[in-house]
């Protein structure tokens, strides 16, 4: 589904690009002669390979940062295969690449500093050429190659490019960046081709399987030539006898082998019809086998989705960068005493960093060895006939899998409250979840319908996403700059704006709304008016009450513009003129949920369940999946709109400040939200996380079950001091505990006359109760709410 939407969007953008991009102002060449240069700027110049499959020139990621790079001309997202200056981008103006008289090719920044240069020092150099293989070469007059980019790969190896003892593929630090990361492909000194994670903290080889010896892994170490190559047919052969064939073996297909930012090594093949990449081989089938993918103290859990999580007593350092791992919430000097306890983490291991490995030992001996050794942070004990004991000095390379037979016993201070975690059932329907959960690698490896990670499918999707981003950036830039002469001070804000929405003039919107005549609603962020555009599209125009600064406004709009999900209201465009800030949204026939819940025309049960599920999906997308983590902060029936089929679409998102998801550093300057739906964190001045939306959602689904607005819920006289929601939850929990059989019936909207699914109602009530827990850590995530509700989706009992 998403893939389709993207495909169309891509097509649309591509057409746009072709029809509007100022092609006339760029020039391409087959070679660059000595003394000449290529520069960034209005008249971009490129080198292209004779068959046009590769392009070389300046490449930008949307900010004022350029790389001298080679990319696949025909891949939709212009996938980069090589960069000269990966860790040191240059400025947009005045940077250039020159072949100097002394024969060096140099990249200089705007101030003339040399950012990168070739090691050629012969005046014999005549010209630079880009070959059909994607190799940038410096040749002399006789046509001999004096220097080639193939000797200095970044994260990608191209067919026919030799991988040698002097080369290394190094991953990017994160998705969508070129900065060097921690995962490497290289030839070890024992002549074996390896993958290693090489962070500032640790260096651990993880492929081939480190638990096996060289021969069991099918390798040899006697051939010291240390050379490997992927040929044009898709056959890979290395001197340690490692070999594979890509799944699409054959000639005529463009391929690349990339050391991906998630630590996996993959071969991609270009689909020449769609311009997207398909994975045709990968080194590791299971993401948690990439050691160190989650960072220090963290655990990669495979159950069956792969996520990073922190063990009890630890919290995540940076939820957007799991390489940074987790940190202890307690004072670690407390471990240097005997006042400690051990917490079992079943099916878990921290690989390596063993102070002492002994066998056979009893569990008690193992524990005592860890207890008396102050360096010991945990011990691993496994019973395989006899007891194996591993004393750990550091917690790296953590992973947990239901198939793994040993347990880790974590050393924690005695007074720390921590209980044995249930790593594999984080999404069970009981209250509680781990705040630190995040998907490994990319934000969207959950597939709610299939409950399994499908890498091969998801990767092309992400590649596509990258393409869109890039095109949007390019288009947004060009479009806005050309048409509107935007002041330079807000350039940064424009960079990320996607052009799938238009810029409207104020007079256009004034006319469309008939001078803001028909008001549809009014909320915290402003009033919404109905309008008809000149192309007859009916729209909802929101006039923001708060006059945002331009920078702030563009920052928030750029977020909204990138978000696209069937349960979120689409934005068509915006207007920013003088003090007017308007947003143009799609218009939904059935307006908001409150009009179909609390009045005389109310939704039947089936429709209510659809709305509850769809709303959960929309919020889960905002929290877990979309490119930027977005907290809505004002979930309430007025912000859930219904289309003509009564499918829900969430409105008004993206207007709260973006938050580092779950991070304690989240800062909110403005309080947003509506009384009755606001989580206790607001009043208690605690960090605001996505869990405030979970709270609001809980209130909304309980309202949907009851058919009564929360402010009208009856609170008995003796409980007058309690909030309606607290009172309700307490009463219903009492009823459930007392074994009252009709506790569901006592809650469900009596106007339905019994027409509802009892299982679904029970699921909604239970979920609602969990969602409004005072302690945000006990509330489930929206992703797990979706899973819970999906399980009951097909219920039809009466
Ligand atoms: C430049 O680097 C390449 C590859 O490492 C090497 O083969 C060559 O000898 C170097 N040339 C000079 C002049 O240092
Ligand atoms: C070592 O490997 C290379 C490349 O695969 C091969 O050409 C060479 O013959 C091998 N040498 C021996 C002694 O097997
Ligand atoms: C790859 O294909 C060739 C045939 O072209 C075959 O001989 C070889 O065994 C295959 N290698 C692997 C690892 O399957
Ligand atoms: C596309 O790729 C196929 C092989 O998968 C090849 O036969 C065909 O010629 C290619 N088409 C173009 C236009 O390059
Ligand atoms: C940890 O505890 C030790 C001794 O109790 C104390 O000296 C140290 O300052 C504490 N460190 C932190 C970060 O609280
Ligand atoms: C491991 O512990 C045993 C028993 O305490 C001790 O005898 C042995 O020397 C230790 N080994 C190492 C490498 O520290
Ligand atoms: C641990 O929990 C107990 C009861 O659950 C509580 O009394 C105690 O204060 C807690 N200790 C800490 C350090 O949080």
Lowest mean pLDDT among 48-57, 109-118, 129-138, 672-681: 672-681
pLDDT band at 666 (very low <50, low <70, confident <90, very high): very low
Report the alpha-carbon distance of residue 330 to residue 297 in Å, rounded: 13
Residue identifier of the C-alpha nearest atom 14 of ligand 2: 223
Domains and CATH numbers, the chain: 19-152 (2.90.10.10), 294-425 (3.50.4.10), 500-586 (3.30.200.20), 593-791 (1.10.510.10)
Please indicate whether residue 8 or residue 319 has the higher confidence score (pLDDT).
319
Helical axes 691-706 vs 782-791, angle rounded to 10°: 30
DSSP states along 660-706: -TT-TT---SS----TTT--HHHHHTPPP-THHHHHHHHHHHHHHHH
Q: Are 85 and 65 within 8 A, CB to CB? A: no
Q: Are 583 and 561 within 8 A, CB to CB? A: no
Residue identifier of the C-alpha nearest atom 10 of ligand 4: 272
- Lookup: tokens for 646: 């009564």
- Amino acid 128: pLDDT: 92
DSSP code at position 622? I
pLDDT score of 165 more than 80: yes
- Amino acid 629: pLDDT: 61
Please indicate whether residue 287 or residue 16 has the higher confidence score (pLDDT).
287
| For residues 195-221, average pLDDT | 84
796 CB-near residues (< 8 Å, 6+ apart): 757
- Amino acid 731: pLDDT: 87
Please indicate whether residue 8 or residue 417 has the higher confidence score (pLDDT).
417
pLDDT band at 51 (very low <50, low <70, confident <90, very high): very high
Q: Which atom of ligand 3 is nearest to the CA of 244?
A: 13
Look up 634 and say whether it is catalytic.
Answer: yes
Lowest mean pLDDT among 394-408, 487-501, 647-661: 487-501
| For residues 194-223, average pLDDT | 85
- Lookup: tokens for 753: 């006359």
Q: Which atom of ligand 2 is nearest to the CA of 237?
A: 5
Q: Are 637 and 671 within 8 A, CB to CB? A: no
Lowest mean pLDDT among 213-217, 349-353, 564-568, 792-796: 792-796
Q: How far is the CA of 534 from the centre of ligand 3 (A)?
A: 62
- Amino acid 194: pLDDT: 93
Alpha-carbon separation of residue 195 from 7, 184, 234, 286, 564 (angstroms) = 34, 6, 20, 14, 36
Helices (H), 308-412: 363-372
**Beta strands in 491-549, from DSSP E residues, in sequence order:** 502-503, 519-523, 526-532, 538-544
| For residues 124-128, average pLDDT | 88
Q: Tell me if 358 CB under 6 Å of ligand 6.
A: yes
Each residue's pLDDT tens digit, 235-285 = 999 999 999 998 888 888 999 999 998 888 999 999 888 888 888 888 887
531 CB-near residues (< 8 Å, 6+ apart): 509, 512, 513, 514, 538, 539, 540, 541, 584
Q: Which helix (H) or strand (E) holds 306?
A: strand 306-309
Please indicate whether residue 67 or residue 474 has the higher confidence score (pLDDT).
67
Report the alpha-carbon distance of residue 720 to residue 145 in Å, rounded: 86
- Amino acid 550: pLDDT: 67
Helical axes 782-791 vs 758-771, angle rounded to 10°: 170
- Amino acid 323: pLDDT: 79
Residue identifier of the C-alpha nearest atom 4 of ligand 1: 151
| For residues 459-463, average pLDDT | 34
- Amino acid 4: pLDDT: 45
> Does 43 show up as a binding residue in the annotation?
no
| For residues 342-348, average pLDDT | 87
Mutate to test the pocket of ligand 3, among 219, 228, 235 (most ligand atoms within 8 A of CB): 235
Report the alpha-carbon distance of residue 579 to residue 583 in Å, rounded: 13
- Lookup: tokens for 256: 């690349």
Average confidence score pLDDT of the chain: 78
555 CB-near residues (< 8 Å, 6+ apart): 493, 658
Report the alpha-carbon distance of residue 726 to residue 718 in Å, rounded: 14
- Lookup: tokens for 402: 């239901």
pLDDT band at 795 (very low <50, low <70, confident <90, very high): low
Nearest to 152 by CA among 98, 116, 112: 116
Q: How far is the CA of 228 from the centre of ligand 4 (A)?
A: 27
Q: Tell me if 225 CB under 6 Å of ligand 2.
A: yes
Q: What is the dihedral of CA 720, 725, 729, 730, to 10 degrees?
A: -20
- Amino acid 30: pLDDT: 76
Q: Are 727 and 719 within 8 A, CB to CB? A: yes
Residue with tokens 């859930």, as numbered in its chain: 640
DSSP code at position 568? B
Nearest to 561 by CA among 647, 461, 637, 476: 476
Could you tell me the pTM of the whole model? 0.54
- Amino acid 446: pLDDT: 23
Residue with tokens 């003796």, as numbered in its chain: 718
656 CB-near residues (< 8 Å, 6+ apart): 630, 631, 632, 633, 634, 668, 670, 672
What is the percent of the chain where pLDDT is above 70? 79
Helix%, strand%, coil% for the chain, nearest 5: 25, 25, 50
Q: Specify which residues 399 forms β-bridges with.
A: 300, 349
Lowest mean pLDDT among 242-256, 429-443, 537-551, 589-603: 429-443
- Lookup: tokens for 239: 């001197």
pLDDT score of 17 more than 70: no
Report the alpha-carbon distance of residue 370 to residue 329 in Å, rounded: 21
pLDDT score of 105 more than 60: yes
Q: How far is the CA of 417 from the centre of ligand 7 (A)?
A: 6
- Amino acid 563: pLDDT: 72
Alpha-carbon separation of residue 423 from 322, 432, 437 (angstroms) = 17, 12, 10
Q: Are 55 and 137 within 8 A, CB to CB? A: no
Each residue's pLDDT tens digit, 615-635 = 999 998 888 765 556 778 889
Of 109, 240, 262, 634, the catalytic one is 634
| For residues 680-688, average pLDDT | 77
- Amino acid 422: pLDDT: 67
- Amino acid 423: pLDDT: 67
Q: Which atom of ligand 1 is nearest to the CA of 151?
A: 4
Helices vs strands, H then E, count in the chain? 12, 45
| For residues 39-46, average pLDDT | 74
pLDDT score of 158 more than 70: yes
DSSP states along 401-428: -TT---EEEEEEETT-------GGGTTS
Report the alpha-carbon distance of residue 519 to residue 541 in Å, rounded: 9
Residue identifier of the C-alpha nearest atom 7 of ligand 5: 333
Q: Tell me if 166 CB under 6 Å of ligand 1.
A: yes
Alpha-carbon separation of residue 332 from 295, 340, 397 (angstroms) = 18, 11, 20
- Amino acid 39: pLDDT: 83
Report the alpha-carbon distance of residue 771 to residue 634 in Å, rounded: 15
| For residues 6-18, average pLDDT | 40
């Amino acid at each position: 589904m998403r893939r389709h939407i993207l495909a169309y969007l891509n097509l649309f953008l591509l057409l746009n690009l072709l029809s509007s991009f100022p092609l006339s102002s760029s020039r391409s060449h087959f070679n660059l002669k000595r003394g000449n240069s290529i520069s960034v700027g209005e008249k971009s110049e490129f080198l292209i390979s004779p068959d046009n499959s590769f392009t070389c020139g300046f490449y930008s990621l949307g900010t004022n940062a350029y790389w001298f790079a080679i990319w696949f001309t025909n891949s939709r997202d212009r996938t980069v295969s090589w960069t000269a200056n990966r860790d040191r981008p240059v400025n947009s103006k005045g940077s250039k690449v020159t072949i100097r008289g002394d024969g060096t090719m140099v990249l200089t920044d705007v101030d003339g500093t040399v950012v990168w240069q070739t090691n050629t020092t012969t005046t014999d150099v005549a010209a630079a050429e880009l070959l059909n293989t994607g190799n940038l070469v410096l040749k002399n007059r006789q046509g001999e190659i004096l220097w080639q980019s193939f000797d200095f790969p970044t994260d990608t190896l191209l067919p026919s490019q030799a991988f040698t003892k002097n080369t290394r593929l190094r991953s990017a630090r994160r998705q969508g960046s070129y900065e060097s990361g921690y995962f490497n492909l290289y030839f070890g000194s024992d002549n074996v081709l390896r993958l290693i994670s090489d962070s500032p903290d640790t260096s651990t080889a993880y492929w081939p399987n480190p638990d096996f010896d060289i021969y069991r892994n099918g390798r040899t170490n006697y051939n010291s030539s240390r050379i490997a190559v992927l040929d044009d047919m898709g056959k890979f052969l290395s001197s340690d006898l490692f070999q594979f064939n890509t799944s699409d073996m054959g000639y005529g297909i463009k391929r690349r082998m990339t050391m991906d930012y998630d630590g996996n090594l993959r071969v991609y093949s270009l689909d020449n019809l769609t311009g997207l990449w398909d994975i045709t081989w990968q080194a590791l089938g299971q993401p948690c086998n990439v050691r160190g993918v989650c960072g220090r103290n963290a655990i990669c859990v495979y159950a069956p989705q792969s996520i990073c999580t922190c063990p009890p007593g630890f919290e995540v350092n940076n939820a957007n960068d799991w390489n940074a791992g987790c940190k202890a919430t307690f004072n670690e000097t407390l471990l240097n005493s005997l006042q400690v306890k051990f917490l079992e983490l079943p099916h878990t291991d921290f690989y390596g960093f063993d102070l002492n490995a002994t066998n056979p030992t009893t569990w008690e001996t193992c524990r005592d060895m860890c207890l008396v050794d102050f360096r010991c942070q945990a011990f691993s004990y496994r019973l395989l006939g006899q007891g194996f004991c591993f004393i750990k000095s550091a917690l790296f390379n953590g992973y947990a899998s239901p198939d793994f037979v040993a347990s880790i016993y974590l050393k924690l201070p005695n007074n720390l409250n921590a209980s044995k975690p249930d790593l594999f059932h984080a999404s069970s329907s009981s209250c509680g979840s781990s705040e630190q959960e995040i998907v490994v690698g990319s934000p969207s490896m959950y597939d709610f319908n299939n409950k399994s990670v499908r890498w091969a499918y998801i990767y092309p999707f992400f590649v596509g996403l990258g393409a869109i981003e890039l095109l949007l950036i390019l288009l947004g830039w060009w479009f806005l700059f050309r048409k509107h002469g935007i002041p330079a001070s807000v350039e940064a804000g424009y960079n990320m704006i996607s052009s799938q929405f238009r810029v409207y003039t104020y007079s256009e919107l004034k006319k469309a709304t008939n001078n803001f005549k028909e008001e549809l609603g009014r909320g915290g962020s402003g009033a919404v008016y109905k309008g008809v555009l000149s192309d007859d599209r009916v729209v909802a125009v929101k006039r923001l009450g708060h006059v945002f600064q331009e920078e702030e406004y563009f920052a928030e709009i750029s977020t909204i513009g990138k978000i696209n999900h069937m349960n979120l209201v689409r934005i068509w465009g915006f207007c920013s003129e003088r003090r007017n800030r308007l947003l143009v949204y799609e218009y939904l026939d059935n307006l908001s949920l409150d009009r179909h819940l609390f009045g005389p025309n109310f939704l039947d049960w089936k429709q209510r369940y659809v709305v509850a599920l769809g709303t959960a999906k929309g919020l889960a997308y905002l929290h877990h999946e979309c490119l930027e983590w977005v907290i809505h902060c004002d979930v309430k029936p007025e912000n859930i709109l219904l289309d003509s089929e009564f499918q829900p679409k969430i409105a008004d998102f993206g207007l709260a400040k973006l938050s580092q998801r779950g991070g304690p550093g989240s800062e909110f300057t403005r309080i947003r939200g509506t009384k009755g739906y606001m989580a206790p964190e607001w009043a208690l001045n605690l960090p605001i996380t996505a869990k405030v939306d979970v709270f609001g959602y809980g209130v909304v689904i309980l309202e949907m079950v009851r058919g009564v607005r929360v402010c009208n819920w009856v609170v008995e006289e003796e409980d007058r001091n309690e909030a309606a929601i607290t009172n309700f939850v307490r009463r219903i929990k009492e009823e459930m505990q007392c074994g009252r059989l009709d506790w569901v019936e006592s809650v469900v909207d009596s106007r339905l006359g019994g027409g509802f699914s009892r299982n679904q109602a029970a699921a909604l009530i239970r979920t609602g109760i969990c969602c409004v827990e005072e302690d945000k850590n006990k509330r489930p995530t929206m992703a797990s709410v979706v899973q819970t509700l999906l399980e009951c989706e097909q219920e039809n009992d009466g």
